């Protein structure tokens, strides 16, 4: 762990404490001045985002979900708060195409799958449509207005990326009038969170807007008897210079230290052990992860003409991650293991520049753009992994690893550069028919280096990827579409448990075809799609060598709907059926199911507003079907179902809106494993209660 203690008081913590005291002072003043309670103001919970609401479509700009020829999902910050979600997997857990594959306190949090495919940690997670470094940290959800998921290949819109899809975090924007809120939350185990959110506009016409979010969280967690300590700040500025020109600046800082998240590694020679309690402590004393993350983005928007707009953005981001990690290698079917510990340091610097011009004429919506991004490893150290002890999952041996520190000097292990130009045209053929056609030309270079700075491998790609989609609107509230997309993605490095650990591979090409329908009626909406993805395959063979070999085909059905079952009752649900098969691979692997891809997945959530004035209840459930743990399909992870419930209560007291939220996840305290990657498991989260109180001044 870094020498600088992440638990030392910081200026941010002092600012949060001062702001909290001010909030309590204002509340006391209001109580002294007031006599009786004010009239109840009812707004029990927010409505679900509609298909008519806009979502980011990368190079295509922002379009309504109903108007995109792709499968999309958007979750607002109000819904995130109402469910007290603390991780991206919790935000998207009611989308049946999304699978959580990592606990939020591990050394690899914020990792999810879409359509059975893991998102890559550079190109799979965007902030306001631009890439950022998402290696080893959970984004501070308190800084964002919404979280959007675009499923399927996104090659034209975003460039390189996993064919499963992308996640886009949309930053909070300056408020139209002055606002200030203070919140305090508690998560079972002992973690306490304080959050301040303020915004407004300055100037005679409100030309200058600001939004500031400050956050501190610290304490123990029930998950693996772990802990969390994080400080975060988010600043969003907007200057409307005149009616045609606007400047923006967005910045995020987070220092996040956590304890927990031990990897369980199972070779095909052994069976998947019986799940253990989610509160079980496995990690060594002194193990944990500490990530410092910064991001800053400057943007300019200029309206050339009534129908033509130019946008340009520059983003820079840095991330430094230090961790000590336990890996339990199973050695028997009784749950015996060998404990392998490592201490690592990884630092990265990232830059991206993008400029677009979009406009319309004669039924054409045109987008032209250029993009350049560069990722560079600034420092990397991996202490050789050593086996320090043995134990049993059901009676673990906890050792002390404070003395294990990375050593041997830092070096850069990777640089990756991507340059692209893109163009698209959405042509309206008639009142009902439209067609989208786009091309993206990409030059990609990925360099891998040895510990002595020598170039080990270089992979290049020089590729034009197309996007074609046909849309038909039989009515204003319904869209039928068919789309075809090609894309490239950066291949995964060999896992550390393989013979060729950390080996890099050439980029992988993907193709996707999809047909679907979206409709939004007065009391319900629904989306359905059939998709087929063809993608180069990576897996671990019988010699424990990670290889790029053969092709995986993913064929599936997605269905999601929101139904207003009664005046104050809404039901949201979805299902995914998936057939993912490895083909043209080595004997013994061809015809097997793809690693980590479930055959079935489903979710449902019901919200009952106005149970009492200002009170809303919500319940939900997620089902994950069994999935193969290895390429030979020797081990299969059992299916499991989780249940959640909570309430939201809003009431105006003394002129201030008070919001009380509570939630319990995994109500039945189900013991289960979560899949992370081939042969890797993590402990599923135990039953956990959370509560939050927010005051809007």
pLDDT category of residue 12 using cuts at 50, 70 and 90: very low
Residues 6+ apart with CB under 8 A from 279: 222, 223, 224, 225, 686
% of the chain residues with pLDDT over 70: 90
Give residue 490's pLDDT.
80
Task: For residue range 464-487, list pLDDT tens digits in order.
Answer: 888 899 999 999 999 999 999 888
Cα–Cα distance for residue pair 160/441, rounded to 1 Å:
11
Does the residue 2 lie in any domain?
A: no
pLDDT category of residue 542 using cuts at 50, 70 and 90: confident
Does the residue 19 lie in any domain?
A: no
Cα–Cα distance for residue pair 149/294, rounded to 1 Å:
23
Mean pLDDT, to the nearest integer, of 254-272? 93
Tell me how far the alpha carbon of residue 258 is from its chain's centroid: 18
Give residue 204's pLDDT.
82
Task: For residue range 38-48, list pLDDT tens digits in order.
Answer: 333 334 444 55
pLDDT of 93 higher than 80: yes
Does the residue 350 lie in any domain?
A: yes
Give residue 51's pLDDT.
67
Half-sphere exposure of 564 (CA within 13 A, CB side): 13
Cα–Cα distance for residue pair 490/505, rounded to 1 Å:
8
154 vs 631 pLDDT, higher one = 631
Does the residue 382 lie in any domain?
A: yes
Per the prediction, the chain carries an average pLDDT of 88
Taking Cα atoms as reference points, which of 440, 439, 458 lies closest to residue 448?
A: 458
Contact between 260 and 323 under an 8 Å Cβ cutoff? The reply is no
Q: Which element (helix H / strand E) includes 26? A: helix 11-33
* Both structure tokens of 424: 């698209």
Contact between 624 and 639 under an 8 Å Cβ cutoff? The reply is yes
Tell me how far the alpha carbon of residue 186 is from its chain's centroid: 23
- The residues pairing with 11 across neighbouring beta strands, listed in sequence order, are none
Give residue 62's pLDDT.
64
Tell me how far the alpha carbon of residue 359 is from its chain's centroid: 31
Residue 316 neighbours by CB distance under 10 Å: 15
Task: For residue range 47-82, list pLDDT tens digits in order.
Answer: 555 666 666 655 666 667 787 888 888 899 999 999
* Both structure tokens of 494: 């060999």
Task: For residue range 631-677, list pLDDT tens digits in order.
Answer: 999 999 999 999 999 999 999 999 999 999 999 999 999 999 999 99
Give residue 200's pLDDT.
96
Does the residue 162 lie in any domain?
A: yes
Assign 318 to helix, strand or coil. strand
Give residue 235's pLDDT.
98
Give residue 47's pLDDT.
53
Mean pLDDT, to the nearest integer, of 319-339? 94
Does the residue 265 lie in any domain?
A: no
Backbone angles phi, psi at 20, to 5 degrees: -65, -40
pLDDT of 314 higher than 70: yes
Task: For residue range 430-440, list pLDDT tens digits in order.
Answer: 999 999 998 99
Cα–Cα distance for residue pair 555/121, rounded to 1 Å:
24
Does the residue 173 lie in any domain?
A: yes
Give residue 453's pLDDT.
77
Say how many domains are in the chain.
1
Task: For residue range 108-153, list pLDDT tens digits in order.
Answer: 888 899 999 988 887 889 999 899 887 888 999 999 999 999 887 6
Distances (CA, A) of 498 to 347, 412, 539, 567: 23, 22, 10, 56
Where residue 145 sits, what CATH number does that domain have? 2.40.170.20
Give residue 36's pLDDT.
33
pLDDT of 361 higher than 50: yes
Positive or negative, the CA dihedral 540, 543, 547, 550 is: negative
Give residue 87's pLDDT.
93
Task: For residue range 162-213, list pLDDT tens digits in order.
Answer: 888 889 999 999 999 999 999 999 999 999 999 999 999 998 888 999 999 9
Half-sphere exposure of 383 (CA within 13 A, CB side): 20
Does the residue 39 lie in any domain?
A: no
pLDDT category of residue 27 using cuts at 50, 70 and 90: very low
Cα–Cα distance for residue pair 33/566, rounded to 1 Å:
41
Contact between 171 and 234 under an 8 Å Cβ cutoff? The reply is yes
Cα–Cα distance for residue pair 90/597, rounded to 1 Å:
19
Residues 6+ apart with CB under 8 A from 142: 195, 197, 213, 215, 232, 234
Give residue 171's domain range: 54-214+225-260+270-321+328-696
Cα–Cα distance for residue pair 119/100, rounded to 1 Å:
11
Distances (CA, A) of 428 to 422, 432, 478: 20, 8, 16
Cα–Cα distance for residue pair 44/39, rounded to 1 Å:
15
Our CA dihedral for 273, 278, 281, 282, rounded to 10 degrees, sits at: 30
Q: Tokens 């673990």 identify what position?
A: 396
pLDDT category of residue 33 using cuts at 50, 70 and 90: very low
Q: Tokens 């990368």 identify what position?
A: 58
Contact between 426 and 434 under an 8 Å Cβ cutoff? The reply is yes
């Amino acid at each position: 762990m870094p020498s600088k203690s992440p638990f030392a008081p910081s200026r941010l913590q002092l600012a949060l404490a001062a702001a909290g005291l001010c909030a309590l002072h204002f509340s006391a003043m209001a109580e002294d001045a007031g006599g009786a309670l004010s009239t109840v103001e009812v707004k029990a919970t927010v409505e679900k985002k509609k298909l008519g609401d806009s979502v980011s479509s990368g190079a295509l700009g922002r379009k309504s979900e109903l108007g995109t020829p792709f499968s999309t999902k958007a979750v607002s910050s109000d819904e995130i708060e109402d469910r007290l979600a603390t991780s991206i997997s919790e935000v998207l857990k009611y989308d049946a195409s999304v699978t959580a594959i990592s606990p939020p306190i591990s050394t690899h949090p914020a990792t999810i799958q879409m359509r059975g495919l893991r998102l890559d940690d550079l190109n799979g997670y965007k902030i306001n449509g631009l890439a950022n470094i998402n290696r080893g940290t959970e984004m501070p959800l308190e800084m964002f207005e919404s979280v959007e998921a675009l499923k399927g290949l996104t090659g034209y819109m975003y460039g390189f990326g996993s064919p499963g899809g992308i996640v886009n975090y949309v930053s909070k924007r300056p408020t139209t009038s002055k606002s200030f809120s203070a919140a305090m939350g508690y998560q079972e185990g002992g973690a306490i969170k304080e959050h301040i959110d303020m915004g407004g506009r300055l100037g005679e016409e409100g030309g200058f807007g600001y939004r500031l979010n400050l956050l501190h969280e610290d304490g123990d967690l029930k998950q693996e008897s772990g802990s969390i300590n994080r400080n975060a700040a988010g600043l969003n500025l907007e200057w409307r210079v005149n009616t045609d020109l606007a400047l923006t600046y967005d910045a995020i800082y987070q220092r996040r230290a956590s304890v927990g998240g031990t990897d369980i590694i199972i070779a095909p020679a052994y069976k998947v052990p019986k799940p253990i309690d989610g509160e079980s402590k496995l990690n060594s004393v002194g193990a944990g992860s500490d990530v410092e993350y910064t991001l800053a983005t400057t943007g300019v928007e200029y309206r050339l003409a009534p129908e033509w707009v130019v946008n340009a953005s520059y983003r820079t981001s840095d991330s430094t991650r230090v961790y000590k990690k336990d890996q339990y290698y199973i050695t028997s079917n009784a749950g015996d293991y060998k404990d392998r510990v490592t201490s690592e340091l990884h630092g990265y610097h990232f830059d991206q520049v993008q400029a677009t011009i979009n406009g319309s004429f004669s039924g054409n919506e045109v987008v032209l753009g250029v993009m350049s991004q560069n990722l560079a490893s600034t420092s990397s150290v991996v202490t050789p992994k050593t086996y320090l002890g043995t134990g049993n999952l059901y009676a673990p041996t906890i050792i002390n690893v404070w003395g294990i520190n990375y050593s041997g000097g830092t070096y850069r292990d990777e640089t990756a550069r991507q340059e692209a130009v893109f163009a698209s045209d959405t042509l309206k053929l008639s009142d009902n028919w439209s067609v989208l056609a786009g091309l993206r030309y990409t030059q990609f270079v990925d360099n891998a280096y040895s510990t002595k700075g020598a170039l080990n491998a270089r992979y290049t790609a020089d590729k034009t990827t197309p996007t074609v989609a046909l849309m038909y609107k039989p009515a204003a509230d319904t869209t039928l579409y068919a789309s075809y997309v090609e894309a490239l993605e950066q291949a995964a490095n060999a896992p550390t448990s393989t013979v060729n650990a950390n080996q890099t591979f050439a980029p992988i090409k993907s193709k996707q075809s999809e047909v679907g329908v979206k409709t939004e009626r007065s009391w319900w909406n629904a989306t359905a799609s059939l998709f087929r993805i063809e993608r180069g395959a990576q897996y671990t063979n019988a010699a424990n060598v990670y290889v790029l070999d053969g092709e995986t085909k993913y064929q599936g059905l997605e269905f999601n709907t929101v139904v207003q079952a009664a005046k104050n009752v809404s039901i949201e649900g979805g299902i995914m059926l998936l057939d993912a098969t490895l083909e043209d691979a080595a004997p013994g692997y061809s015809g097997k199911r793809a690693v980590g891809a479930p055959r079935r997945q489903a979710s449902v959530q019901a919200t009952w507003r106005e149970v009492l004035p200002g009170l809303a209840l919500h319940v939900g459930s997620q089902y994950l079907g069994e999935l193969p743990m290895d390429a030979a399909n020797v081990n299969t992870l059992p299916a499991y179902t989780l249940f959640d419930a909570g309430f939201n209560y809003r009431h105006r007291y003394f002129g201030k809106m008070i919001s009380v939220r509570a939630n319990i996840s995994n109500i039945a305290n189900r013991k289960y494993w979560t899949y992370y990657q081939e042969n890797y498991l993590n402990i599923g989260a135990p039953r956990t209660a959370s509560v939050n109180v927010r005051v809007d001044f």
